[in-house]
């Protein structure tokens, strides 16, 4: 088919060669035809590419929904978009990857679009955010306990093993780029978007564990991506919904945020993803809009990308933006302008520059291409700059075996067989459980509250925000060795939400607390607003602990997410941290029934509460005191070694 877009015919632009030519005679000759060195192959490819094809390599959209439905099998219209624009990659989301067979076939079909394209034989980057823990996309497979849980183990071999599991499962499915690991240092307890996605508030630990995970991913032949440069950890705004500001000097960044990225760069991380954060001490350009005046986001900043990342840190690999349709960007720039400014800044791939949900949306992609081409034509963008980016993209595709001298001939049936053997294997699940249990952290255990030792006929109350959480905990309690058959203990459940009344106005919950001998209170805090006394996420657990203490009942705070709740729930006689709210979503009467809510954290916590797992984790973040609704920068909450009071 003729894919050359009409509006490219008028551009008589030449391609600049930026990679030194390596003579074919220098190639190592093995059996069969000689292998052309990667540099020369990239060079030859660049010479033959049109400007549209080059720009296509730099654009990476998502097709998570199409015509109102989850895009789980390749729609013909989507195939035509990939073919027409010679796209270099796509990103998959949970809506795309429901099961092993389905995902394998979808990825296979995506790459088949390129195979059938006579004018373009460069396979796609097929990418995904498979961080582990609370950010997992795959519907099946190994979920892992998450980065902060890994940080709590203090064992970087677990981080490598997690990366190896992620890499091997993605590769088996045909996904060749992972947008992870997160190298943000979560040193701001008010951070609403990173939290347990970070390994630690210690940049040294983040660098060590992040590098180990990246190596585990890349050792499986999948490209790893360090994110979110130059660091999204010290922010109090989620860039999905606004523009965070990090008002730090370069010297301050060198001493904290940049350290993990420098370590990853030194050891050869394949990609780096940008953060949509304002850095007024690094980039002095400001943006004026009807929303006010604010610093140019780092993603669009040449001072941050070319100056700090390329110049200061010496990074020569592929740079990809965070999603450009996030509000920190989309609220303040047109789609085409955002793409042009990212390319001006030195970024190689514009991720999700527009929302494509139907054929009617394709005109938006056309506009982006048209305006980028016009920016080249009028001299705002140089084609040499574009060539530099495409050269980096093609080099990585070649080095990772994505773009070979011959097309991949592996059949779909062979791919399916391999995927079934690897994705969610028993070996991976066993390692997942081991990591989750090693992460369980006991920071408080007054009067030997833990482990719980119920007697026959005792009642255990399980209280948590979500029903799938309590379902999972109940299922695990029933499976405990000392309670097999559920003949010994009565287990009752309750859930609470933002609208749950205070305990004195909640007779049903008060009756349950009064009837219980042992109480487990799950706390799922993902922002500082939930720590305020006016929030049900604060006062429900607090009032339950107060009542339980007065009545002489044993109770434990089970922290399911960001561990800063331990600073405010001081009445909890025991505090146990598991750094993740996922468990078995198919427990008794569960309303979830969603494999994406599955994970190893909740079972690990329950096993520890009842003494079947010894808590070994160490708190990986500093927890400031929380006074009058505000975290105290200079004061930190004091936590003892809870295990010293373990009731063996």
pLDDT tens digits for range 298-351: 999 999 999 999 999 999 999 999 999 988 888 889 999 999 999 999 999 999
Average model confidence (pLDDT) across the chain: 90
Higher pLDDT, 376 or 597: 376
Residues 40 and 394: beta-carbon distance below 8 Å: no
Q: What is the pLDDT of residues 106-115, one digit of tens each?
A: 999 999 999 9
pLDDT at 92: 98
DSSP state of 535: S
pLDDT at 13: 30
Higher pLDDT, 85 or 332: 85
pLDDT at 253: 95
pLDDT at 153: 98
With a pLDDT cut of 70, the percent of the chain lying above it is 91
With a cut of 60, say whether residue 520 has pLDDT above it: yes
Residue 254's alpha-carbon distances to 191, 257, 260, 514, in angstroms, are: 20, 7, 10, 54
Per-residue pLDDT band at 206 (split at 50, 70, 90): very high
With a cut of 70, say whether residue 479 has pLDDT above it: yes
The reply to whether 240 belongs to the active site is yes
Helices 203-218 + 258-266 axis angle, to 10: 30
Higher pLDDT, 152 or 13: 152
| pLDDT, average across residues 202-227 | 98
pLDDT at 85: 97
pLDDT at 8: 34
Q: What is the pLDDT of residues 67-82, one digit of tens each?
A: 999 999 999 999 999 9
pLDDT at 11: 30
The active-site residue out of 109, 219, 240, 303 is: 240
pLDDT at 193: 85
β-pairing, 125-128 vs 177-178, is parallel
Per-residue pLDDT band at 18 (split at 50, 70, 90): very low
The active-site residue out of 322, 468, 471, 517 is: 322
Residues 165 and 431: beta-carbon distance below 8 Å: yes
pLDDT at 606: 97
Higher pLDDT, 531 or 320: 320
Alpha-carbon torsion, ordered 380, 382, 387, 392, to 10 deg: -60
| pLDDT, average across residues 537-550 | 97
How far is Cα 507 from Cα 350, in angstroms, rounded to an integer?
A: 54
Higher pLDDT, 28 or 584: 584
With a cut of 70, say whether residue 646 has pLDDT above it: no
pLDDT at 416: 97
pLDDT at 588: 60
Q: What is the pLDDT of residues 357-380, one digit of tens each?
A: 999 999 999 999 999 999 999 999
3-class DSSP assignment, residue 636 = strand
| pLDDT, average across residues 288-292 | 75
Residues 431 and 522: beta-carbon distance below 8 Å: no
Q: What is the pLDDT of residues 415-433, one digit of tens each?
A: 999 999 999 999 999 999 9
Smallest Cα–Cα separation from 588: which of 488, 484, 476, 494? 476
The segment with the largest mean pLDDT, out of 226-240, 282-296, 462-476, is 462-476
| pLDDT, average across residues 569-582 | 96
pLDDT at 592: 57
Per-residue pLDDT band at 640 (split at 50, 70, 90): low
With a cut of 90, say whether residue 17 has pLDDT above it: no
Q: Is the dihedral of CA 388, 394, 397, 399 positive or negative?
A: negative
Residues 227 and 172: beta-carbon distance below 8 Å: no
| pLDDT, average across residues 383-395 | 97
Poorest-pLDDT segment among 91-100, 227-236, 558-567: 227-236
Q: What is the pLDDT of residues 617-632, one digit of tens each?
A: 999 999 988 887 777 7
| pLDDT, average across residues 524-539 | 93
Smallest Cα–Cα separation from 103: which of 396, 418, 321? 418
Per-residue pLDDT band at 647 (split at 50, 70, 90): low
pLDDT at 14: 29
Residues 317 and 310: beta-carbon distance below 8 Å: no
pLDDT at 611: 96
With a cut of 80, say whether residue 22 has pLDDT above it: no
| pLDDT, average across residues 154-180 | 98
pLDDT at 27: 36
Smallest Cα–Cα separation from 349: which of 359, 339, 358? 339
With a cut of 50, say whether residue 604 has pLDDT above it: yes
Token pair belonging to 158: 């677990």
Cβ-count burial 140-176 (b if 16+ within 10 Å, e if not): bbbbbbbbbbbbbbbbbebbbbbbbbbbbbbbbbbbb
The reply to whether 428 belongs to the active site is no
Domains and CATH numbers, the chain: 1-128+361-408 (no CATH), 132-333 (3.20.20.300), 440-645 (3.40.50.1700)
| pLDDT, average across residues 53-66 | 98
Residue 414's alpha-carbon distances to 36, 104, 138, 174, 423, in angstroms, are: 28, 10, 20, 12, 14
């Amino acid at each position: 088919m003729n894919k050359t877009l009409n509006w490219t015919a008028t551009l008589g632009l030449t391609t600049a060669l930026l990679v030194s030519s390596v003579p074919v005679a220098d190639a190592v000759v093995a059996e069969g035809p000689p292998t052309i060195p990667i540099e020369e192959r990239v060079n030859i490819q660049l010479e033959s590419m049109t400007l549209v094809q080059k720009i296509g390599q730099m654009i990476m959209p998502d097709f998570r929904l199409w015509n109102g439905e989850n895009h789980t099998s390749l729609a013909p219209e989507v195939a035509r978009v990939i073919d027409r624009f010679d796209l270099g990659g796509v990103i998959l989301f949970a809506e795309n990857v429901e099961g092993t067979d389905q995902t394998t076939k979808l990825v296979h079909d995506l790459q088949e679009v390129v195979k059938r394209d006579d004018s373009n034989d460069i396979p796609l980057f097929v990418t995904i955010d498979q961080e582990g823990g609370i950010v997992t996309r795959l519907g099946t497979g190994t979920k892992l306990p998450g980065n902060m849980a890994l940080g709590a183990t203090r064992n970087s071999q677990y981080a490598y093993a997690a990366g190896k599991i992620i890499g091997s499962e993605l590769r088996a499915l045909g996904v060749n780029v992972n947008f992870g690991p997160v190298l943000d240092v979560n040193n701001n307890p008010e951070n609403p978007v990173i939290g347990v996605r970070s390994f630690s508030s210690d940049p040294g630990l983040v660098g060590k564990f992040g590098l180990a995970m990246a190596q585990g991913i890349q050792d499986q032949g999948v490209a790893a991506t360090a994110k979110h440069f130059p660091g999204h950890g010290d922010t109090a705004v989620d860039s999905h919904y606004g523009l965070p500001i990090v008002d730090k000097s370069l010297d301050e960044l060198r001493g904290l945020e940049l350290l993990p990225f420098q370590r990853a760069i030194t050891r050869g991380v394949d990609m780096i993803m940008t953060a949509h954060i304002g850095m007024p001490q690094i980039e002095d350009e400001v943006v004026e809009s009807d929303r006010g005046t604010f610093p140019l986001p780092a993603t669009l900043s040449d001072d941050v990308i070319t100056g700090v990342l390329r110049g200061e840190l010496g990074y020569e690999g592929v740079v990809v933006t965070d999603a450009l349709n996030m509000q920190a960007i989309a609220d303040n720039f047109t789609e085409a302008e955002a793409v042009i400014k990212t390319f001006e800044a030195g970024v190689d791939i514009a991720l999700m520059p527009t929302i494509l949900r139907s054929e009617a949306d394709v005109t938006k992609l056309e506009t982006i291409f048209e305006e980028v081409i016009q920016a080249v034509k009028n001299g705002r963008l140089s084609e040499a700059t574009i060539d530099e980016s495409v050269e980096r993209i093609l080099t990585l595709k070649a080095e990772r075996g994505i773009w070979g001298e011959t097309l991949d001939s592996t059949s779909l049936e062979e791919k399916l067989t391999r995927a079934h053997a690897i994705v969610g294997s028993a070996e991976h699940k066993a390692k997942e459980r081991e990591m989750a249990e090693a992460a369980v952290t006991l920071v408080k255990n007054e009067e030997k509250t833990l482990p719980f030792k119920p007697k026959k006929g005792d009642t255990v109350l399980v209280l948590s925000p979500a029903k799938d959480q309590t379902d999972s905990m109940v299922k695990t309690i029933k499976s405990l060795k000392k309670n097999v058959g559920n003949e010994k203990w009565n287990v009752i459940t309750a859930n609470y939400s933002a609208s749950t009344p205070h305990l004195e106005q909640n007779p049903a919950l008060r009756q349950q607390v009064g009837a219980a001998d042992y109480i487990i209170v799950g706390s799922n805090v993902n922002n500082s607003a939930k720590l305020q006394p006016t929030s049900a996420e604060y006062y429900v657990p607090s009032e339950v602990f107060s009542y339980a203490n007065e009545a002489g009942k044993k109770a434990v705070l089970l922290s399911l997410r960001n561990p800063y709740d331990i600073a405010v729930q001081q009445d909890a006689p025991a505090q146990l941290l598991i750094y993740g709210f996922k468990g078995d979503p198919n427990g008794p009467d569960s309303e979830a029934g969603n494999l994406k809510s599955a994970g190893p954290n909740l079972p690990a916590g329950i096993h520890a509460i009842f003494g079947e797992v010894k808590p070994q984790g160490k708190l990986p973040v500093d927890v400031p005191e929380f006074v009058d609704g505000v975290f105290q920068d200079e004061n930190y909450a004091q936590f003892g070694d809870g295990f010293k009071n373990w009731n063996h």
